[in-house]
Amino acid sequence: MDRRKMLALLGVSPALVAGTPALATPAARPLAGDSYEGSDERITVMNPAIASKVAARVALAPRLKDMNNKLIYMLNLAWEGPDAANYFYDAMTEWLQQHYTGVRTKVKVTAEGMFGTDPSVLKAIREDHADAVIVGVAG
């Protein structure tokens, strides 16, 4: 039930049961070097709004017709540390090997984490001619 309606039915104003208003204390004067009202110091504010120009779309890679005898890289983005997702990738490797013959997996931890592209891992994927890459956070 709505509290205001309940209080109105009891004949009590919601303002009475709200308690005493909090008393605001004036803010302390900034220390020397801090900016305050009237200061000429400026800050940069980032606009969180979406840019008017949308990024160009890139088509997804074509789906594999078969997973048998494929090499699949699994990229650990080290979300909660480099070992956090090992149980997930181990379970995924086991599942793939049970359902597809000859499937091989390689788990790599990216050096730059989730916010970068690790050139050494990209090079390894190309050199090994990986058939698929699973990128994810699984910590």
- What is the C-alpha to C-alpha distance for residues 39 and 32, in angstroms, rounded to an integer? 12
Share of the chain above pLDDT 70, in %: 65
DSSP string covering 44-110: -----SPPSSPPPP-PPPPPPS--TT-EEEEEE--BTBTTTTHHHHHHHHHHHHHHSTT-EEEEEE-
Q: Which tens digit of pLDDT belongs to each residue from 48-63?
A: 777 677 778 888 888 9
pLDDT confidence of 10, banded at 50, 70, 90?
low
Contacts of 98 (CB under 8 A, 6+ apart): none
Res 83: pLDDT:
76
- What is the C-alpha to C-alpha distance for residues 114 and 85, in angstroms, rounded to an integer? 13
pLDDT mean over 122-134: 93
* Whole-prediction pTM: 0.56
Task: State the number of CA atoms in the 13 A half-sphere of 127 facing the CB.
Answer: 6
Res 66: pLDDT:
92
- What is the C-alpha to C-alpha distance for residues 64 and 75, in angstroms, rounded to an integer? 18
Res 53: pLDDT:
76
**Is residue 64 predicted with pLDDT exceeding 80?**
yes
Res 123: pLDDT:
93
**Is residue 41 predicted with pLDDT exceeding 60?**
yes
Backbone angles phi, psi at 88, to 5 degrees: -70, -50
H-helix or E-strand spanning residue 136: strand 132-136
**Is residue 98 predicted with pLDDT exceeding 60?**
yes
What length is written for the chain?
139
- Both tokens of 110, joined, read 């990216």
Average pLDDT of every residue of the chain: 77
